[in-house]
Amino acid sequence: MLLLAIESSCDETAVAVVRDGREILANLIASQVDLHAVYGGVVPELASRRHLETINPLTVEALSQAGVGQEQLEGVVVTRGPGLVGALLVGVAFAKAFAYACGIPVLGVHHIEGHILAIQLEQQVAFPFLALAVSGGHTHLFRVDGIGQYRLLGRTVDDAAGEAFDKVAKMLGLSYPGGPIIDKLAQGGDDGGIVFPRPLLKKAHCDFSFSGLKTAVLNHLQRLGEKPDEKRVAQIAAAFQTAVVDVLTQKTLRAAAAEGLNRIVVAGGVACNSGLRKRFSELAVRNELTVHFPAPLLCADNAAMLAVAGDYYLRQGFSSGLDLNAVSNWPLEQVGVFNF
C-alpha cells in the first residue's frame, strides 16, 4: 500500500511517501526554526501561514523524489492531533482535499502514536513494549500491547522534558530550540560539581515533573548574580541534562520492571539527546533489556512515522471521512478504531 503522509502539528511541515508502512520512498521536512527563533518559541499564527505556503510544493517534491505519480497513491495519512490547532488544520485540510481529488481514503493519526511506532520503519520491535514518548509537548510512559493498544503508566504533571530543555536554554541565553544546543554543550562532560534536583525520582509512581528543576536552574543563575561565562553555561547545561537523563532513565526502567517488559522504545524529539541515548544503552546492558531509539531524523517531527499506524488501520478498512477535523488535545489512550 502506497501512502502519502502529512505532518503539520507544530513548526515543521513534513511530507513522506511510504510503501507498506515500512519502506520510506521520500521523507521531507521543511523546518520553520529560523522563522520562530527570533521570538524564542513557536508563534502559532506564523506557523500556520508557513505550513500553508510550504505544504503544496513539498508534496510535489516528495512525490517526485519518490518517483511516484499521484494516481499510484492508495491513501493519505495526516496528523489529526495533538498540536497547534491552526497548524494541524492546514495539514488536515490539505490531506482531505488531496485524498478527495485522488479518490482515495484519508486517515487522521495521533502524533504520539506516530512517534512511538516510528521505530518500526527501521527494525521490528515485537509487542508488548514500554514506550517513553519524550518531546516538546509530551513526557509520557505507555505500555504498548499492539498498534492502537496503549495504556498510560505515567506522565509529566507540569512541563514536558523538551519544554524544560527549551526554557532552560532560554534562561542561559541560548537560542531556540534549546534541546540540541544544551545537548552539544553537555557533551564536554564538565558539570562543575553542580547538582540539580531529580524531581519525583524517589516516588514509586511513574509520573514526572520538570518545572521544579527549571526553577532550580533559575535560582542557581540568580545566586550567581552575574551573567555566566561560556564555561559556566556549559557546566549548568551539563548538570541540568544529567538530572533530566537520571529521572527519565530510572523511572522508565522501574516502569519496565513493574510491567515485566524487557523491550523499551524511546521516541520523540528528546530521544535525539546523546546523553539520554548513552545512558539508556549502558543501562540496557546492565539490566538485560533492549532499548530502541529511532534514527534522529525519525525521532524529530516527520511524516513517515505516521505511515506505520496509517498502513495498519487502512488495511483494516478504517478511514476518517471528509468530516475529519483537527484536535489540539487528544490523549493517546483514547486512540481506537472508534475515533475514525
Judged by the rule CB under 5 A, the positions of this chain that interact with Zn ion are: 135, 301
Identity of the residue, 55 or 248, whose beta carbon is nearer to ligand KG4 in the bound complex:
248
In the bound complex, what is the minimum distance in angstroms from residue 35's beta carbon to Zn ion?
18
In the bound complex, what is the minimum distance in angstroms from residue 296's beta carbon to Zn ion?
13
Interface with ligand KG4 (CB under 6 A): 10, 135-137, 162, 165-166, 177-180, 183, 268-270, 272-273, 300-301
Identity of the residue, 1 or 29, whose beta carbon is nearer to ligand KG4 in the bound complex:
29
CB of 13 closer than 8 Å to CB of 320: no
* From ligand KG4, Zn ion, none, interface partner of 179 (C-beta below 5 to 8 A by class): ligand KG4
Cα-based torsion angle of the residue sequence 154, 158, 239, 298 in order, rounded to the nearest 10 degrees: 60
In the bound complex, what is the minimum distance in angstroms from residue 117's beta carbon to Zn ion?
13
* From ligand KG4, Zn ion, none, interface partner of 270 (C-beta below 5 to 8 A by class): ligand KG4
Identity of the residue, 17 or 267, whose beta carbon is nearer to Zn ion in the bound complex:
267
In the bound complex, what is the minimum distance in angstroms from residue 269's beta carbon to Zn ion?
6
* From ligand KG4, Zn ion, none, interface partner of 165 (C-beta below 5 to 8 A by class): ligand KG4
CB of 98 closer than 8 Å to CB of 56: no
C-alpha span between 133 and 333 (Å, rounded): 13
* From ligand KG4, Zn ion, none, interface partner of 310 (C-beta below 5 to 8 A by class): none
* From ligand KG4, Zn ion, none, interface partner of 177 (C-beta below 5 to 8 A by class): ligand KG4
SS3 17: strand
Provide the angle, in degrees to the nearest 10, between the axes of the packed helices 178-186 and 230-259. Answer: 100
* From ligand KG4, Zn ion, none, interface partner of 109 (C-beta below 5 to 8 A by class): none
Joined grid coordinates for residue 173 = 541565553
CB of 324 closer than 8 Å to CB of 80: yes
Give the ranges where the chain is alpha helix by DSSP (H). Answer: 33-37, 44-66, 85-102, 111-117, 161-171, 178-186, 211-224, 230-259, 274-287, 296-299, 306-315
CB of 44 closer than 8 Å to CB of 123: no
Identity of the residue, 91 or 136, whose beta carbon is nearer to ligand KG4 in the bound complex:
136
In the bound complex, what is the minimum distance in angstroms from residue 138's beta carbon to ligand KG4?
7
In this structure, how many other beta carbons lie within 10 angstroms of the beta carbon of residue 197?
Answer: 13
In the bound complex, what is the minimum distance in angstroms from residue 130's beta carbon to Zn ion?
19
Identity of the residue, 108 or 180, whose beta carbon is nearer to ligand KG4 in the bound complex:
180
Q: From the CA atom positions of the chain, what is the Rg in Å?
A: 20
CB of 62 closer than 8 Å to CB of 30: no
* From Zn ion, ligand KG4, none, interface partner of 105 (C-beta below 5 to 8 A by class): none
CB of 7 closer than 8 Å to CB of 82: no
Identity of the residue, 135 or 319, whose beta carbon is nearer to Zn ion in the bound complex:
135
